[in-house]
Chains A and B, each alone.
Chain A
Amino acid sequence: MRCFTAFVLFAALLPAQNVQTATLANGMKVIVQEDHNIPNVALYFFYKIGSRNERPGITGISHFFEHMMFNGAKKYGPKQFDNEMEKAGGNNNAYTTRDETVYTDWFPSSALQLMFDMEADRIRDLALEPKMVASERGVVYSERRSSVDNNNRGILYEQLQAAAYTAHPYHWPVLGWPSDIEAWTQQDLKDYFAIGYAPNNCTMVVVGDVTMARVMDLAKKYIEPIPSHDPPPPVRTKEPEQLGERRLTVKKAAQLPIQMVAYHVPEARNPDSIVLDVLTTVLSRGQSSRLYKRMVDEEPLALSVNGGAQDSLDPTLLIFTIQPRNGVDPAKTERVLYEELERLQNAEIPARELQKAKNQLLTEHYSEMKTIAGRANLLGTFEVMRGDYMKAFTIDKDYEAVTAADVQRVAKKYLTEKNRTVATLIPEGKSK
């Protein structure tokens, strides 16, 4: 039945045949999906450089760079990228993760040529004006204050990562440590641009009201002449195996505590990552999930509980985040979480529950494809993280292949005490 579902959906929603690819002479890969539903285009650039390519002293520079890419190049000076784009009816954003920096443009198809001209300008000739660098430092600091310093989940997550990773660059936050945000120099920025922004280190994804021919004409004219050069050096450091549970606390003014329990798990390309998706769905997606039923519904222990692992190039963390109820000791929610994890280790999940999780994952995957922006993001993310955008069209088969025994096996393999880091935010002034 699920195969049928998947077939119907993918056949109608997103025929992979609509996707065409090419590689420019300078090494940039181009992925295009024509879709004329609305007269708009999503143009995404995925640079394979993120905080994992940084080192102590320049942490957060990938993210800062993302900001500087909007602050002027050779042909289009400061503010012009945004001004010209908005004047043409488009808007944009960008985001930085541990593994990549992604530039996202949404605009009417009439602005396609302008966008290629402006994107090429900033990839080739970013200006890095000292005055703009100074003011953007303040902006990034403000972003950090909002998402970390004044955000209890943000600060706990940062501390958790720092404790769970001792050697690998996932140890430091994408936004960077405050002292590095203050200290990086003009030269650091120039060096970083030279390392990360090679066209051969980038994948372009175009979805929407375009034709492959038109995209390639423009790509050849504007992007292809930009010379390729060495991509960032490989990240050598591997996180050593964790040898025992790590625990940390953050004390902070708060109404309620927060708890995060993390386990080291493999990167997105490892076949176990799909099994772990099924596992976390069984545990925490929807009101029928095991942890929701147990902790939020049946027993008044938590306001919310979520689990998941971020797609990544290197081994990552599967994190359960729990918001305990008022007056509930986090030790209690932690114990109940372990009981549910043990249940998964001790017995195979029933067939219908497994099928439910697969159906949930698949419909969520489809819902990410409803918009041109969602599809551009998905195709690029699959290309970078899983090595092939086509995997976005075959993931139904990967889900289908997961068995109850697989789920039990990965639960036993990864969800162990030795492999665990527990972070708890304790409201200041309260004993626990």
Chain B
Amino acid sequence: MKTLLVLLAAGCLFGQAKLPPYTKETLPNGAVIAMMPRSGVPLVHFRVLIKGGVESDPADKAGLANVTAGLLRRGTKSRSAEQFAEELDFLGGTFQAAFDGPLGSATAISSEFLSKDFDKGLDLLSDAVLHPAFTESEVHKELARRIDGAKAIKDNAQGSIGSYFRASFFGRAHPYGNPPDERSYSRIASIDIREYHAKHYCGKNMLIVVTGDFDPSIAKAKLAQAFGGAPTVEAYTWKAVPPLARKGQLLLIDKPDATQTYFQIAQPGIDMKNPDRTTLEIINTLFGGRFTSMLNDELRVNSGLTYGAASQLEQNRLPGAILISTYTKTDTTTQAIDLALDVLRRLNEKGISAQQLASAKAYVKGTYPTRRLETMDQLAALIGEIELYGLGRDEVDGYFARIDNITLDQANAAIRKYYKTGDLTFVVLGAADKIREQMKKYDPHATEVSIKTTGWGN
């Protein structure tokens, strides 16, 4: 019995990860329904993906897709916002609607209920997704809140440096480089939201994933009934995007009261279909993706300069960044930046050892089940990625084999190809008066912006 459970549930037999089976069906209006019934936990998780996400924001109205998502539950044709909230909370249900990650190319609407509340939960969810009212008063309230929120986030250095980085690295013409601000929100009108919803929330853009404890033979008809009414307008098509805006530049954000400098150092990375992807995941684990990584070891453990240093390998539909992030007290700013650059240079020049490669492989495999396969929401997210981006089941089923097959030569070749030491983008947030002069050695033409200035230095 126990062995059987392991086989079905965990799917990590013989050192291989395995995605449990799911079915997929396309409704006449183009909406795709994926179901993964799993007994055990009496919960059901719904995840509706609407293709477009950050890529579908108009250039002058950044935030439109997320504002639309935020308003879905704020009143429908048959329920006021208050009624919706009361019904949802009475079931103890959850409801989140926003980009699928900050650079997500889809809007994700996630909702979880007790299995016994399947019908009520599905009714609430589909009502919000398909029949939002977008009343003037709710639109006005949502936009006003977001405008104040864009102000408030500047009180949090760690929360805001990412937006400065995106604007600087990708550039405003790129969908990843245009984070919303007070100005873009103020240009959004109700009509924009209605039109966005009418155009994007259609069958052909819609993927509905259901995981958890439910009977698929009964659920199928209910889901078809609930989402079969989504309009049948044209599907969203991915647009061509411009190349990255800038390389080798430094943006300094002045926060005069900061006692700590936050910085990010970036270079171009990959998209989620890049053939070097798994190799780079392993390399990034060693460089800055775990506690014993080279960056954390040097900047935290050996030198005590920071509480944490990391590097992120962004993987989205479009190529992202390889991004070093950390912080240190103001007077050790250059010491920390230089050390981070030194760690990068050492990786680039010396590569990694067979021992390091083996350790990173074991780490990525060992942590995979808890990162991606343990809960219904994790499984729903995984199915969403596989279907939306056409990754195939092999995304999971072939993952451990892809890791096992990476050779030391391949890893070191990938390091030379991606982890370069020139043309880096720097974004530094701190007390400018104390660090301005020192920043010139990284970029003699560094630009500077006050954190009080509206927007993200763009």
Residue in A36, A146, A149, A370 whose beta carbon sits within 8 Å of that of B375 in the complex: A370
Number of residues of chain B lying within 8 A (CB) of chain A:
74
Q: Which residues of B contact A363 (CB under 8 A)?
A: 91-93, 114
A391-B86 Cα distance, complex, nearest whole Å? 29
A126-B290 Cα distance, complex, nearest whole Å? 23
Task: Please choose the segment from B36-44, B58-66, B192-200 that sits at the chain A interface, where 4 or more of its residues have CB less than 8 A away.
Answer: B36-44
**Smallest CB gap from B138: residue in A:** A297
Interface check B366, CB cutoff 8 A = yes
Interface check A387, CB cutoff 8 A = no
- Given that A88-B362, A255-B154 are known contacts, is A40 also in contact with B370, CB under 8 Å in the complex? yes
Tell me if A371 and B116 are in contact (CB < 8 A): no
Interface check A150, CB cutoff 8 A = yes
Tell me if A371 and B148 are in contact (CB < 8 A): no
Interface check A222, CB cutoff 8 A = no
Tell me if B363 and A146 are in contact (CB < 8 A): no
Q: Which residues of B contact A140 (CB under 8 A)?
A: 307
Q: Which residues of B contact A356 (CB under 8 A)?
A: 86, 89-90
Task: Please choose the segment from A53-61, A179-187, A282-290, A377-385 that sits at the chain B interface, where 4 or more of its residues have CB less than 8 A away.
Answer: A282-290
Tell me if A293 and B327 are in contact (CB < 8 A): no
Q: Which residues of B contact A79 (CB under 8 A)?
A: 292, 297, 301
Tell me if A135 and B303 are in contact (CB < 8 A): yes
Tell me if A8 and B292 are in contact (CB < 8 A): no
A362-B9 Cα distance, complex, nearest whole Å? 25
A89-B290 Cα distance, complex, nearest whole Å? 11
Tell me if A152 and B155 are in contact (CB < 8 A): yes
* Interface members, chain A 357-371 (any B CB < 8 Å): 359-360, 362-364, 366-367, 370-371
A87-B141 Cα distance, complex, nearest whole Å? 51
Interface check A252, CB cutoff 8 A = yes
**Smallest CB gap from A364: residue in B:** B92
* Interface members, chain B 327-345 (any A CB < 8 Å): 327-329
- Given that A89-B366, A145-B259 are known contacts, is A134 also in contact with B304, CB under 8 Å in the complex? yes
Tell me if B92 and A360 are in contact (CB < 8 A): yes
A108-B88 Cα distance, complex, nearest whole Å? 37
Number of residues of chain A lying within 8 A (CB) of chain B:
74
Tell me if B303 and A138 are in contact (CB < 8 A): yes
Tell me if B370 and A106 are in contact (CB < 8 A): yes
**Smallest CB gap from A328: residue in B:** B148
Residue in A90, A287, A367 whose beta carbon sits within 8 Å of that of B366 in the complex: A90
A146-B260 Cα distance, complex, nearest whole Å? 8
Q: Which residues of A contact B370 (CB under 8 A)?
A: 38, 40, 106, 371-373
Tell me if A288 and B85 are in contact (CB < 8 A): yes
Tell me if A297 and B12 are in contact (CB < 8 A): no
**Smallest CB gap from A1: residue in B:** B116
Tell me if B9 and A36 are in contact (CB < 8 A): yes
Find the residue from A91, A150, A289, A370 having the highest chain B CB count within 10 A.
Answer: A150
A4-25, CB under 8 A of B: which get 1 and which 0?
Answer: 0100110011000000000000
Interface check B135, CB cutoff 8 A = no
Tell me if B42 and A8 are in contact (CB < 8 A): yes
Q: Which residues of A contact B291 (CB under 8 A)?
A: 82, 86, 91-92
Q: Between A and B, how many residue pairs show CB distances below 8 Å?
A: 205
Q: Which residues of B contact A89 (CB under 8 A)?
A: 362-363, 365-367
Interface check B149, CB cutoff 8 A = yes
A38-B7 Cα distance, complex, nearest whole Å? 9
Tell me if A288 and B89 are in contact (CB < 8 A): yes
Interface check B191, CB cutoff 8 A = no
Q: Which residues of B contact A12 (CB under 8 A)?
A: 40-42, 213
Interface check B6, CB cutoff 8 A = yes
A135-B149 Cα distance, complex, nearest whole Å? 37
Q: How close is B396's CB to chain A, nearest CB, in angstroms?
A: 13
Q: Which residues of B contact A255 (CB under 8 A)?
A: 151-152, 154-155, 452
* Interface members, chain B 152-194 (any A CB < 8 Å): 152, 154-158
Interface check B305, CB cutoff 8 A = yes
Interface check B145, CB cutoff 8 A = yes
Interface check A348, CB cutoff 8 A = no
A51-B303 Cα distance, complex, nearest whole Å? 26
- Given that A91-B291, A137-B304 are known contacts, is A86 also in contact with B328, CB under 8 Å in the complex? no
B131-147, CB under 8 A of A: which get 1 and which 0?
Answer: 00000000001001101
A20-B406 Cα distance, complex, nearest whole Å? 42
A293-B376 Cα distance, complex, nearest whole Å? 30
Q: Which residues of B contact A149 (CB under 8 A)?
A: 259-260
Interface check A320, CB cutoff 8 A = no
- Given that A300-B141, A303-B148, A323-B152 are known contacts, is A86 also in contact with B260, CB under 8 Å in the complex? no
Tell me if A38 and B374 are in contact (CB < 8 A): yes
Tell me if B85 and A286 are in contact (CB < 8 A): yes
- A/B interface sample: 21 pairs, CB < 8 A: A12-B40, A12-B42, A13-B42, A36-B6, A37-B10, A87-B359, A89-B366, A90-B363, A139-B300, A142-B260, A142-B306, A142-B307, A143-B307, A146-B260, A209-B10, A255-B154, A256-B152, A288-B82, A303-B152, A366-B43, A370-B43
Q: Which residues from chain B sit less than 8 Å from chain A, CB to CB?
A: 2, 5-6, 9-10, 12, 40-43, 73, 81-82, 85-86, 88-94, 112, 114, 116, 141, 144-145, 147-149, 151-152, 154-158, 213, 255-260, 290-292, 297, 300-307, 327-329, 358-359, 362-363, 365-367, 369-370, 373-376, 452
Top-10 shortest CB links A-B: A89-B366, A138-B304, A363-B92, A135-B304, A287-B85, A288-B85, A253-B257, A286-B89, A38-B369, A142-B307
